[in-house]
């Protein structure tokens, strides 16, 4: 924790109650996120990886406080402290009306560029909506800003009058990026922004996002399941498994010297376009990911872990700083 910290996530947990039976009693809890800690500095890109269903997206949505919209009974524990200037705001505690005035500081880029743009609005209307909400710009200023933003993301300002269905997937994602940048936010949560795109377009969009990060001095929380993408873009990498954070550290450390057995297995699955490294050992995990409805006791990963010990079932492993800035949730590899 230093004065450059933008957001400090402490012990964040997101639980969805499951109701069943005649009287809709609470029968179980989906522990989508179960006590994670990390922080994002200003102008930093944090990559977050993990299998599908491990809670990456839930973390992202918790951080912009829109979980209650779809699941009103969600239980959010811990804190998500944003440092906006001198103000410290905890998004985990605020109600959706209290959080409204900070909305311009944290924005989101969505995974599916086809669903995240309202099909009944033109691009100009889509991008100028945050401007209407958070600035006092006149219509003319808004139009200028929209044109400028479109130019920044590599579209023509004349395309502002078009509807989303007239664009390709990559172009739509650029519109989504322009919308997120419109209010000069401090943090943009990118929820798998490129996984719905062609590989050739992915590279363009990622390079665009990196350029824009430099220009707008914004931080990214870059959620993805593609490790090579994350390694390319991130300053820090967080590896998640079943609602827990397995490893968190500088990108180079995590990518090249992973410590947690899950990170090792995950990284060994990254395809390398290098035939000379054909002999690389591939760690294949046994079995399936357990359900977050009924997580294993102790370490959640122990059911599939190649180095599991009987002691792993006893208590949840401590998320410990094993090397400088390198947190690992596994005492066996210390």
Partner 1 sequence: MSEQQEISLSILKKRWLKFKTLKRGYYSFVLLAILYVLSWFLPLLVNNRALVLSYEGEMYFPVISGYYAGSEFEQDVPGEAIYRELQAAWESEGSDNWIIMPVYPYSPYEDITVAGNKMYDPPSNTHWLGTDNTGRDVFARLCYAFNISISFALVLTVLNYFIGVLIGGSMGYFGGKFDLFFQRIIEIWSSLPMLFVIIIISSIIRPSFFLLIFIYTIVNWIGMTYLMRAEFYREKSKDYVAAALSMGQTNFKVMFKHILPNAMVPIITFFPFAVVGGISALVSLDYLGFGMPPPTPSWGQMLDVGLQNITKAWMVFAPISALFSTLIMVVFIGEAVREAFDPKVYSRLR
Site of interaction with partner 1 (CB under 8 A):
61, 64, 66, 69-70, 72-73, 96, 99-101, 103-104, 106-108, 110-112, 115-120, 122, 129-130, 133-134, 158, 161-163, 165-166, 176, 179, 183
Of 70 and 284, nearer to partner 1 (C-beta) is 70
Which residues have CB under 8 Å from 268's CB, separation 6+?
280, 281, 282, 283
The one-character DSSP state at 1 is -
- Distance separating alpha carbons of residues 189 and 19, to the nearest angstrom: 30
- Distance separating alpha carbons of residues 59 and 61, to the nearest angstrom: 6
Minimum distance, C-beta of residue 95 to partner 1, in the bound complex (Å): 12
CB 80 within 8 A of CB 92: yes
Tell me if residue 223 falls in helix, strand or coil: strand
- Distance separating alpha carbons of residues 240 and 262, to the nearest angstrom: 9
Of 118 and 168, nearer to partner 1 (C-beta) is 118
Minimum distance, C-beta of residue 52 to partner 1, in the bound complex (Å): 17
Integer angstrom CA distances of residue 174 from 36, 112, 181: 31, 12, 10
Minimum distance, C-beta of residue 70 to partner 1, in the bound complex (Å): 6
Of 117 and 230, nearer to partner 1 (C-beta) is 117
Of 105 and 295, nearer to partner 1 (C-beta) is 105
Of 193 and 249, nearer to partner 1 (C-beta) is 193
Of 98 and 215, nearer to partner 1 (C-beta) is 98
Count of CB atoms within 10 A of residue 320's CB?
A: 12
Strand partners, 219: 187
- Mutual angle of helices 169-181 and 199-216, in 10-degree steps: 10
Strand partners, 25: 20
- Distance separating alpha carbons of residues 180 and 127, to the nearest angstrom: 8
Count of CB atoms within 10 A of residue 108's CB?
A: 21
Minimum distance, C-beta of residue 115 to partner 1, in the bound complex (Å): 4
Minimum distance, C-beta of residue 112 to partner 1, in the bound complex (Å): 6
313: which 2 tokens? Answer: 């079932």
Of 24 and 276, nearer to partner 1 (C-beta) is 24
- Distance separating alpha carbons of residues 29 and 15, to the nearest angstrom: 6
Of 69 and 256, nearer to partner 1 (C-beta) is 69
H-helix or E-strand spanning residue 227:
helix 227-233
């Amino acid at each position: 924790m230093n004065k450059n910290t933008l957001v400090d996530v402490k012990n964040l947990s997101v639980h969805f109650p499951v109701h069943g039976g005649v009287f809709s009693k609470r029968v179980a809890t989906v522990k989508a996120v179960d006590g994670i800690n990390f922080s994002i500095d200003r102008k930093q890109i944090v990559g977050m990886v993990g299998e599908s269903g491990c809670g990456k997206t839930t973390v992202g949505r918790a951080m912009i406080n829109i979980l209650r919209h779809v699941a009103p009974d969600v239980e959010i524990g811990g804190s998500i402290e944003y440092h906006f200037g001198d103000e410290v705001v905890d998004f985990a505690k605020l109600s959706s009306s209290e959080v409204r005035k900070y909305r311009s500081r944290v924005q989101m880029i969505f995974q599916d560029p086809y669903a995240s743009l309202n099909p009944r609005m033109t691009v100009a209307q889509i991008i100028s909506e945050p401007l209407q909400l958070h600035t006092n710009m006149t219509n003319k200023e808004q139009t200028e800003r929209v044109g400028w933003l479109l130019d920044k993301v590599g579209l023509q300002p004349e395309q502002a009058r078009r509807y989303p269905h007239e664009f390709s997937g990559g172009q739509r994602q650029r519109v989504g990026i322009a919308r997120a940048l419109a209010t000069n936010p401090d943090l943009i949560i990118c929820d798998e922004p490129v996984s719905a795109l062609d590989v050739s377009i992915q590279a363009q969009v990622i390079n665009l996002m990196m350029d824009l990060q430099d220009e707008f001095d914004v931080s990214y929380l870059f959620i993805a399941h593609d490790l090579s993408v994350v390694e390319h873009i991130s300053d820090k990498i967080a590896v998640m498994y079943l609602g827990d954070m397995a490893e968190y550290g500088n990108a180079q450390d995590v990518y090249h010297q992973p410590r947690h057995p899950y990170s090792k297995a995950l990284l060994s699955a990254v395809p390398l376009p290098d035939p000379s490294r054909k002999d690389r050992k591939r760690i294949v995990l046994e079995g399936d990911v357990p359900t977050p409805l009924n997580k294993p006791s102790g370490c959640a990963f122990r059911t599939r872990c190649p180095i599991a010990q009987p002691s792993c079932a006893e208590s949840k492993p401590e998320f410990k700083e094993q090397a400088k800035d390198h947190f690992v949730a596994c005492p066996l590899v210390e």
